[in-house]
Amino acid sequence: MEQAADLLKHLDVDKHISVHDYPKLIFLIYLADWKSAIERGSTISGSDWKRLKWGPFSRDLFAKIVTYRNSLAHGAPNSVTSKIDTESAMILENIKKSYMHYNYEKLLDLILSTYPMVRQSNEQSLNLPALAEIYKKDFRKARERVGA
């Protein structure tokens, strides 16, 4: 599991982040975790995700975001140095470039259309690596049906 501070550094989070930005950060890290689960079979954050009515949520990730933000507000440096591996950094960079500019509503629409959110019911755990395996099998079956 990557340190939340390293994930947030890659998303350019600084001390000016507000409480209103937390859902967007959670959504962006969820997208990075989902992409990583599909491509590598594991998540970047190592967070325990749960499907809620309004989107994915991770209690431990939320707590780490609050702690990180509070440490920045109290003068802790936001060092550029990061311990994230190259593949994780590339995934985070791709997510940041693709979706950071989305407003909350557009990002929520995207999030709610992802396979884990469509497949799981409210309050269910989101085991992203396991769901990625099912997703890949379902995708292959669908491709075979259309003769691709």
Give the domain ranges of the chain: 4-146
Q: Cβ of 127: how many Cβ atoms within 10 Å? A: 16
Q: Higher-confidence residue: 89 or 12?
A: 89
**What digits encode the pLDDT tens for the residues 48-90?**
999 999 999 999 999 988 888 777 766 665 554 567 889 999 9
pLDDT of residue 80: 46
What does the mean pLDDT of the chain come to? 86
Q: What would the mean pLDDT of 113-122 be, rounded to a whole number?
A: 96
Confidence band of 15 (pLDDT split at 50, 70, 90): low
List, in sequence order, every residue forming a beta bridge with 57; answer none if it has no partner: 50
Q: What would the mean pLDDT of 82-105 be, rounded to a whole number?
A: 90
Integer Cα distance of 99 and 127 in angstroms = 23
**What digits encode the pLDDT tens for the residues 26-54?**
999 999 999 999 999 999 999 999 999 99
Note the pTM of the prediction, 2 decimals.
Answer: 0.86
